[in-house]
Amino acid sequence: MTRLLEVQGLAKSYGGVHAVRGVSFGLAAGEILALIGPNGAGKSTCFNMLNGQIRPDTGTIRLEGRDTTGMRPRAVWRLGVGRTFQITATFASMTVRENVQVALLSHAHQLSVFHRFAGRSHAGEAEALLDLVGMRADAERPCGELAYGDLKRLELAIALANRPKLLLMDEPTAGMAPKERVELMRLTAAIAREQRIGVLFTEHDMDVVFEHADRVMVLNRGQLIAEGSPEAVRRDAQVRAIYLGEGLVYDARHREGRAA
């Protein structure tokens, strides 16, 4: 059986720096996979290669068996990959509803239509998507005045507009209040499970990661160092070492302190 996403030996270097090397993993439909790792581990580079923003040096990316390596973001999107950004990217001059409508128009190949008022097309569908993320009441508000947490939810609605098979979410809850974070990820998880969307997300908030992820991958210095169930990863000695340090300096100082 071909899985939804198959990544083989992905690598990218900038100058002499290996941002990502030899990353391989798979993702099944409806599965929620977290990619964690310290800052600079290569998470965002990995993400940007998956949706085509960066071309990998080597390695292949297959979506439902189809090679998408080196495709442009817009082509990858057409194959059913939605994405949200670490720093939200939305259309500030439009209303919340119009933001979703543009994505819907694009999905329906209607952006080369030169007449007809676009503000009325796909309005129902747009509102249904906004309803899904709990933003229906804000449909007419200017996007430029939304709070950051709302922008994140709007991005999710936009990302869902092409009925994606795969959602890539780069730090979906960064910059949000704790309560909002939990809500947004619960929402995402519920949508993903219901519509059998595969979700790959990066996250720094471990509560979010361990509550929702089916599996967790840990990236450090461009390499995958652990992969498995949240429980297994939590117990992994190497992972602990990365996140909490080896304890060499700290313990040593304490011992010295006691000796003195």
Partner 1 sequence: MEFLVVQFLTGLASAASLFLVASGLSIIFGVTRIVNFAHGAFYMLGAYLAYTLTERLEGAFGFWGGLVLAGLAVAALGALLEIVLLRRIYRAPELFQLLATFGVTLMVQDLVVVIWGPEDLVGRRAPGLRGAVEVFGQMVPSYDLFLIALGPVVLGLLWLVFKRTRWGVLVRAATQDRDMVAALGVNQKWLFTSVFALGVFLAGLGGALQIPRDAVSHAMDLRVIVEVFVVVVIGGLGSVFGAFVAAIVVSELNAFGILVMPKISLVLVFLVMAAVLVVRPWGLFGKPEGPARQAPGVSIRPWRPFSPGERIAVAAGVALAALLPLVAGDYALTVGSEIIIFALFAASLHFLMTVGGLASFGHAAYFGLGAYGAAFAAKAAGLPMEAALLAGPLLGLAGAALFGWFCVRLSGVYFAMLTLAFAQITWSVAFQWVEVTGGDNGILGVWPSPWAAGPRGFYWLALAVSAAGIAALRVLVFSPFGYGLRATRDSVLRAEAIGIDRGRVQWTAFVIAGTFAGVAGALFAFLKGSVFPENLAIPTSVDGLVMVLLGGIETVSGAVVGALVYKALAIWLMSQTELSKLVLGAVIVVLVVAFPKGIVGSVEELRARRNRSEPNGAAFGAAKMEAAE
| Closest CB to partner 1 among residues 197, 209 | 197
Cα–Cα distance for residue pair 198/103, rounded to 1 Å: 20
Among 110, 194, 250, 255, the residue binding partner 1 under the rule CB under 8 A is: 110
Among 45, 90, 202, 220, the residue binding partner 1 under the rule CB under 8 A is: 90
- Considering only residues 115 to 144 of the shown chain, the ones binding partner 1 according to CB under 8 A are 115-119, 121, 141-144
Reduced to 3 states, what is the DSSP secondary structure of residue 93?
coil
Among 72, 163, 196, 254, the residue binding partner 1 under the rule CB under 8 A is: 72
**Minimal distance in Å, beta carbon 85 to partner 1?**
7
**Minimal distance in Å, beta carbon 253 to partner 1?**
32
- With contacts defined by CB under 8 A, how many residues of the chain interact with partner 1? 42
What phi-psi label fits residue 120: left (phi over 0), alpha (psi between -120 and 50 degrees) or beta? alpha
- Burial pattern 181-205, b for ≥16 Cβ within 10 A else e, equals bbbbbeebbebbeeeebbbbbbbeb
77 binds partner 1 (CB under 8 A): yes
The residue whose two tokens read 């979906």 is 172
| Residue among 250, 164, 190, 227 nearest 37 (CA) | 227
Q: Which span sits near partner 1 by CB under 8 A: 89-97, 127-135, 206-214, 231-239?
A: 89-97
Which residues lie below 8 Å from residue 200, measured CB to CB, with a gap of 6+? 5, 27, 33, 34, 35, 47, 50, 166, 167, 168, 169
44 binds partner 1 (CB under 8 A): no
Cα–Cα distance for residue pair 53/225, rounded to 1 Å: 25
| Closest CB to partner 1 among residues 107, 221 | 107
Which residues lie below 8 Å from residue 14, measured CB to CB, with a gap of 6+? none
Cα–Cα distance for residue pair 222/135, rounded to 1 Å: 37
Q: Which span sits near partner 1 by CB under 8 A: 18-26, 29-37, 111-119, 213-221?
A: 111-119
| Closest CB to partner 1 among residues 34, 103 | 103
| Closest CB to partner 1 among residues 125, 227 | 125
Among 162, 188, 202, 220, the residue binding partner 1 under the rule CB under 8 A is: 162
Positions that interact with partner 1 (CB under 8 A): 51, 53, 72-74, 77-78, 83, 85, 89-95, 98, 101-103, 105-107, 110-119, 121, 141-145, 158, 161-162
